[in-house]
C-alpha cells in the first residue's frame, strides 16, 4: 500500500500543534512493564511479549501525553473536530473506526503499513425493552459483533497485525477460542502474511473455525483447552520467527481501546455511568479502561465510567481471585461453559483487569449457564442478537440491578463482543429446548419457555401456516 494514499486532505486546524494529520514518523510509543515499570522500545520486546526482568506484560505508553502544555500532547478540542471531519473523508484509513482515531494510537512509523478491513464504527443501540424491564433509564449495547469478521477482535487485530507487517514478519500466530483466530486469519490474508492458528479441539464454535479455514490459516486443533494452546504457542514463538497476536501483545489493546472513543463520541463526549464487559482472557476490559483513562488524561472527557467484568460461573478465576484475596493472586481453574469464547481458566491479562475494576469502582461477578442463555435470547428478541459470551453482560446487569449496585437513573453500556451467527448451534439448541440440562434450568423454566421460538414443521398449505401463526406465543 502506498502511504501517500493516507495523506489527509483536511485543512490545518489552529491549536493542533502541527499534528493534524498522522502521516509518517509520528510514532511516539514505548512499552512499559505492568509489573516492574521497566520501559523499553517497541523493537526490543521479546517474542512472547513478557518482560525480561519480571515476566509481566507490557502496556503501550506515549511520551509527553501526561504533561500539560507538552508538545506531544494532543489537543482535545482539535481532536474532536478532526475525528468528526474524517467521517466524511474519502481516505481509506479514515474509514476505519480504529485508524480514524490514529492520533491516540501512534504505533506505526508509516501508516502505509496499516492493514484495515474498515473495522470499528460499530453501532451503539438503545436497548429499550431491556431498559424498561430492568428499570434503567438509559441502556445501550455497543455491538462489536458488527465488525468485519463479526467480533471485537478486529479492532485489536488491525493495530497489532499492522505492526507485524511493519516489522517485516512473514508469519503470525495465535491460540484462540475462535474469534481471535478468525480476525487474525482475515487480516493476515489481507496483508499477504501467513497465519498459524491453535485452537482447542471440539471446543470452538463452527462459525469461527470456518472463518479461519476460509481466510487460509494453517489451523491446528490441539487435544487440550485454550490454556493448553497458549502454552504450546509460547514455545513455538521462541523457536520460530513468528509474530504472536494473542492479547499479551500490547498493540492489540491499542486497537481495542478505540470503542471507548466511539462510545464517548456517540454520547456527545459524555461517558456512561457504567460499562459492562465480558471477561475471558481479560484483555478487552483492560483495553477499554485504558481508552477511557487516556481520554480523561487528555481532557476529552471529564471522568471514567465504572467498568464491571462478568464471567461465566464455570470459568470465573477473576471472580474467585477478587473475593479470595482482592486480586493479589489468581488461581487458575479448569474452565467449563457453553460460552466457548470465554472458556478460559488462566487469563493472561488478569492483573490489568484488576486495576481497571479497582480504579473505576467496578464490580466483577459471574453468571450461570441458564442466566447466559436467557439473556442471549432476550437480546435476540430485541432484534440484536449476539454470541453467548456477549450475553453475560445483560445477565450481569440484571444481577447488579437486583443487588442495587446500579441505580435507575444511570446510563449503562453493555459491550456485545460477538455476532449471533458465530454460534448458531447454541441458538438452535436453546430454541429446541436441548441446550441446558434439567438441573441447570431449574428455577428458570418459565422464563425459558417464554423466550423459546422453535421452528415448527407445518403442512404446505396456508390454513396450517395461519394456524401455526395464531397458536404462537405473543
Ligand atoms: N467475547 C467474545 C466473543 C470473545 O471472543 C472473547 C475472547 C471475549 C468476550 C473475552 O474477551 O479475552 O479480552 O476477556 N476471545 C478470545 C479468542 C480469547 O481467542 O477469541 P477477553
**Ligand 1 centroid from CA 275, angstroms:** 16
Ligand 1 close to Cβ of residue 417 (< 6 A) = yes
What are the φ and ψ backbone dihedral angles of 211, each rounded to 5 degrees? -65, -45
Mutate to test the pocket of ligand 1, among 280, 330, 339, 372 (most ligand atoms within 8 A of CB): 280
Ligand 1 close to Cβ of residue 342 (< 6 A) = yes
- Residue 299 has, within 13 A of its CA and on its CB side, a CA count of 12
Q: Are 346 and 316 in contact (CB under 8 A)?
A: no
With cell 486469519, the residue in question is 185
Length of the chain: 474
Whole-number pLDDT of residue 72: 73
Ligand 1 close to Cβ of residue 389 (< 6 A) = yes
Strand, coil or helix: 62: strand
Whole-number pLDDT of residue 474: 66
Average pLDDT for runs of 10 along the chain of length 474: 41 36 62 97 95 97 76 87 95 97 95 97 97 96 98 98 98 97 98 98 94 98 96 96 97 98 98 98 98 95 98 98 98 97 97 98 98 98 97 98 96 98 98 97 96 94 95 76
CA angle, corner 416, sides to 100 and 335, nearest 5? 120
**Ligand 1 centroid from CA 312, angstroms:** 12
**What does pTM read for this prediction?**
0.94
Other Cβ atoms less than 10 A from the Cβ of 81: the count is 16
Whole-number pLDDT of residue 74: 84
Ligand 1 close to Cβ of residue 205 (< 6 A) = no
**Residue 396, C-alpha cell as written in the block:** 450481569
Whole-number pLDDT of residue 395: 98
Other Cβ atoms less than 10 A from the Cβ of 172: the count is 26
**Ligand 1 centroid from CA 184, angstroms:** 13
**Ligand 1 centroid from CA 235, angstroms:** 22
Amino acid at each position: 500500500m502506498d502511504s501517500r494514499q493516507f495523506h489527509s486532505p483536511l485543512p490545518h486546524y489552529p491549536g493542533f500543534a502541527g499534528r493534524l494529520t498522522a502521516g509518517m514518523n509520528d510514532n511516539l510509543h514505548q512499552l512499559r512493564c505492568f509489573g516492574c515499570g521497566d520501559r523499553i522500545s517497541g523493537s526490543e520486546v521479546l517474542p512472547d511479549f513478557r518482560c525480561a526482568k519480571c515476566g509481566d506484560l507490557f502496556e503501550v505508553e506515549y511520551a509527553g501525553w501526561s504533561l500539560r502544555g507538552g508538545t506531544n500532547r494532543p489537543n482535545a478540542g482539535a481532536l474532536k473536530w478532526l475525528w468528526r471531519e474524517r467521517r466524511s473523508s474519502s481516505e481509506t484509513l479514515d474509514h476505519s473506526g480504529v485508524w480514524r482515531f490514529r492520533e491516540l494510537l501512534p504505533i506505526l512509523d508509516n501508516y502505509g503499513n496499516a492493514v484495515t478491513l474498515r473495522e470499528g464504527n460499530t453501532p451503539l443501540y438503545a436497548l429499550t425493552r431491556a431498559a424498561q424491564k430492568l428499570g434503567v433509564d438509559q441502556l445501550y449495547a455497543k455491538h462489536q459483533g458488527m465488525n468485519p469478521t463479526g467480533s471485537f477482535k478486529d479492532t485489536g487485530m488491525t493495530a497489532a497485525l499492522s505492526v507485524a507487517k511493519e516489522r517485516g514478519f512473514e508469519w503470525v500466530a495465535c491460540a484462540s477460542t475462535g474469534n481471535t483466530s478468525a480476525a487474525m486469519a482475515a487480516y493476515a490474508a489481507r496483508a499477504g502474511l501467513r497465519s498459524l492458528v491453535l485452537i482447542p479441539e471440539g471446543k470452538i464454535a463452527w462459525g469461527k473455525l470456518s472463518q479461519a479455514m476460509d481466510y487460509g490459516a494453517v489451523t491446528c486443533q490441539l487435544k487440550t483447552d485454550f490454556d493448553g494452546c497458549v502454552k504450546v504457542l509460547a514455545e513455538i514463538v521462541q523457536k520460530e520467527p513468528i509474530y504472536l497476536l494473542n492479547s499479551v501483545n500490547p498493540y492489540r489493546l491499542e486497537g481495542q481501546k478505540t470503542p471507548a472513543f466511539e462510545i464517548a463520541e456517540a454520547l456527545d463526549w459524555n461517558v456512561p455511568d457504567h460499562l459492562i464487559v465480558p471477561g475471558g482472557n481479560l484483555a478487552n476490559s483492560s483495553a477499554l479502561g485504558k481508552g477511557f483513562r487516556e481520554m480523561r488524561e487528555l481532557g476529552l472527557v471529564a471522568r471514567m465510567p465504572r467498568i464491571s467484568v462478568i464471567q461465566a460461573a464455570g470459568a470465573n478465576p477473576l471472580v474467585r481471585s477478587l473475593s479470595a484475596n482482592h486480586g493479589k493472586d489468581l488461581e487458575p481453574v479448569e474452565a467449563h461453559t457453553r460460552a466457548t469464547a470465554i472458556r478460559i481458566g488462566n487469563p493472561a491479562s488478569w492483573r490489568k483487569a484488576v486495576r481497571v475494576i479497582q480504579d473505576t469502582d467496578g464490580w466483577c461477578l459471574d453468571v450461570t449457564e441458564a442466566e447466559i442463555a436467557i439473556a442471549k435470547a432476550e437480546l435476540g428478541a430485541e432484534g440484536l442478537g449476539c454470541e453467548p459470551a456477549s450475553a453475560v453482560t445483560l445477565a450481569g446487569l440484571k444481577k447488579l440491578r437486583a443487588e442495587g449496585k446500579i441505580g435507575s437513573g444511570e446510563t449503562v453500556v453493555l459491550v456485545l463482543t460477538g455476532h449471533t451467527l458465530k454460534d448458531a448451534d447454541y441458538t438452535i439448541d436453546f430454541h429446541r429446548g436441548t441446550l441446558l440440562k434439567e438441573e441447570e434450568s431449574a428455577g428458570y423454566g418459565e422464563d425459558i419457555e417464554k423466550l423459546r421460538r422453535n421452528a415448527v414443521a407445518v403442512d404446505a398449505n396456508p390454513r396450517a401456516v395461519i394456524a401455526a401463526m395464531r397458536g404462537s406465543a405473543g
